[in-house]
Structure 1
Amino acid sequence: MTLQAISRFFSGTPLLTLAAILGVTHAEAQEVTMAFGEKIPPYCIPENDSGIELDIMREALAVRGHVLKPRYTSFARIPVMFESGTVDAAMTDAGKNLSAAGGHYAEPAIIYDNVLISLKQRALQIRQPTDLAGLSVLSFVGAANRYPDWLAQVKKQGRYSELNDQSRQVLMLSRGRVDLVLSDRYIFRYFSRHLQQSQGFTPPAVTEHQFVKLNPQDYRPIFRDPAIRDDFNVGLRQLKKSGRFDEIYRHYVGGMAKP
């Protein structure tokens, strides 16, 4: 069976049937309990167990017959759940090295395209950390650990805060409650559209400031079992080679370019 044919089966074939097609016995397949963020669409959408990241993780693991069991929690608790042994894997370490907790890092599955976002009418110019002087920043949980060079001084001065519910970032920025929001650009756009459709919210014009170079190594999934990590890597490469990886991205972000 070609990789292209396998990718067609991913979207509509039950995982155990898929495992049989690929020659993996039921006894060899394992359930993998994995911690995911609960408020980060389009990457994770708990309401229907879907999203860019969830679909990629599920289908990559399924190549070797493993079955994903997502566990949703706040972003800050993801590494805590892994350290406590509550889950077998985690979508991210939230800026904390989990190797000491028995974590084995996989190849990066997705890239969060984090940007600083301001109201366009403010005409802010953000090119270096000193440009944040006097400005308030509202971010996703764990950003201060990820970007200390940019955020340490803002945090020290009491002008930095984090929210697990990133839909509130959109509202607080639009109402002038904060000067800048730090978010993945797709998450911010998703919530802007959702609020527009569900509440009649009118999204203001914004400027996205790319403040750091994207680093795929920042968001690698972590597995407790190195063999399952290796199986995931094999499946991920297969998704990319078959074109299924790009199909998943296009399904959720439409015409927006993949980072």
Structure 2
Amino acid sequence: MKVVFLLALVCLCGDSFAFVNDIKQQRVIIAANPTVAPYVISENDSGIQLEIVKAALNNQDINEVDVHYMSNQRADALLNQGHVDIALNYSGILIAGIYRSQSVVSYENVVVSLKKSNFTINSIYDLATKSVLAFQNAPAYLPKEFGHNLENLRGYEEVFNQQAQIHHLMAGWVDTIILDRRIFLHYLKEYQKTNATKDFVIHAIFPPAARPAYFNNDLLRQQFDKGLANIIQSGEYRTIMLNLDKQYTQRDFTRF
């Protein structure tokens, strides 16, 4: 019996090593949302989140990577169907066969209003009677209380193109917008190149939200987590964050 068990264990380990070697030789397909700059920059297959993911894979000698751009909802579907290997965001309910990595980066979703509106917004409940323009499928990423209180808003809409949120706010078409702080600062920087802007207030009412990557193969997920831990320990992770944060948002952080 011991001999049979040892042979089975050797076969199992051999299969695992063979799979890891196969991954290193094959292309890994990543599904990414093209409208979440500076986390993903579709024009050059770069961005904070995407560069960290590629660095973690590269640490494990997984160098052949293709990035396919699509909405979060389509990424969910293609990951579930096995048509992509990694989704940077996953808005659905985690089902059997989908595996979540360690956190790649933390998003900081905020509410932004114009200063002239003089709003006091210290909690989700202070959004009552105000119009809100949020990112696509926002209730899936925000605290449950937000989704439960949508009926109390004066108006609520979502957009796929988050750059449009800046224009809507500055034009006075909505009272508030909800988006990640880095995304806001990046698109504000782009908007200011051709448009005048008004004074605004950032209301930080949501907790930081960890953003893992999602996989449909647990062995690939394990390889990724190992690579992610390695680049954090080596300092490569911090270097990516500091350099790209300053480049895309003009924020200069000293720690992560």
TM-score interval (norm. to shorter): 0.7 to 0.9
The residue type paired with residue 136 of structure 1 is S
Quick check: 1:79–1:98 contact (8 Å CA) kept in 2?
Answer: no
Quick check: 1:155–1:161 contact (8 Å CA) kept in 2?
Answer: no
Note the C-alpha offset of 1:83. Answer: 1.9
Answer yes or no: is 1:179 the counterpart of 2:171.
no
Quick check: 1:126–1:209 contact (8 Å CA) kept in 2?
Answer: yes
- Which region of structure 1 is more displaced relative to structure 2, 27-36 or 39-48? 27-36
Paired residue for 2:77?
80
The residue type paired with residue 206 of structure 1 is F
Gaps of at least 5 residues in structure 1 are 1-23
The residue type paired with residue 203 of structure 1 is T
One of 197, 209, 213 as aligned partner of 2:207: 213
Quick check: 1:132–1:154 contact (8 Å CA) kept in 2?
Answer: no
The residue type paired with residue 85 of structure 1 is G
User: How far apart in 2 are the matches of 1:215 and 1:39?
Assistant: 18
Distance 1:128 1:145, change over 3 A: same
Quick check: 2:99–2:214 contact (8 Å CA) kept in 1?
Answer: yes
Paired residue for 1:4?
none
Quick check: 1:115–1:184 contact (8 Å CA) kept in 2?
Answer: yes
Name whichever structure is richer in strand by fraction.
2
User: How far apart in 1 are the matches of 2:252 and 2:205?
Assistant: 20
Q: Deviations over 1:61-89 (max 9, x none)?
A: 11112132211102332212212322111
Paired residue for 1:17?
none
Quick check: 2:128–2:154 contact (8 Å CA) kept in 1?
Answer: no
| Structure possessing the higher radius of gyration over alpha carbons | 2
Quick check: 2:110–2:180 contact (8 Å CA) kept in 1?
Answer: yes
User: How far apart in 1 are the matches of 2:237 and 2:74?
Assistant: 27
User: How far apart in 1 are the matches of 2:21 and 2:140?
Assistant: 42
Q: Deviations over 1:172-211 (max 9, x none)?
A: 00011111111011111111111222xx212322111111
Paired residue for 2:35?
39
Say which SS state the counterpart of residue 220 (structure 1) adopts.
Answer: strand
Distance 1:71 1:155, change over 3 A: farther
TM-score (norm: length of structure 2): 0.83
Quick check: 1:82–1:88 contact (8 Å CA) kept in 2?
Answer: yes
The residue type paired with residue 103 of structure 2 is P
Quick check: 1:141–1:163 contact (8 Å CA) kept in 2?
Answer: yes
The residue type paired with residue 203 of structure 2 is H
Say which SS state the counterpart of residue 55 (structure 2) adopts.
Answer: helix
The residue type paired with residue 106 of structure 1 is S
User: How far apart in 2 are the matches of 1:239 and 1:25?
Assistant: 21
Paired residue for 1:13?
none
Answer yes or no: is 1:103 the counterpart of 2:95.
no
Answer yes or no: is 1:222 the counterpart of 2:214.
yes
Say which SS state the counterpart of residue 82 (structure 1) adopts.
Answer: helix
Say which SS state the counterpart of residue 108 (structure 1) adopts.
Answer: strand
Say which SS state the counterpart of residue 139 (structure 1) adopts.
Answer: strand
Instruction: Please report the RMSD computed on the Cα atoms of aligned residues, expressed in angstroms.
Output: 2.0
Paired residue for 1:170?
166
In the TM superposition, structure 1's runs of 4+ consecutive aligned residues that sit over 6 Å from their partners are 24-27
Q: Deviations over 1:3-48 (max 9, x none)?
A: xxxxxxxxxxxxxxxxxxxxx9788443211110011111101111
Note the C-alpha offset of 1:135. Answer: 0.4
Identity of aligned residues (%): 28
Alignment of 1:182-201 (within 5 A): 182-197=178-193, 200-201=194-195
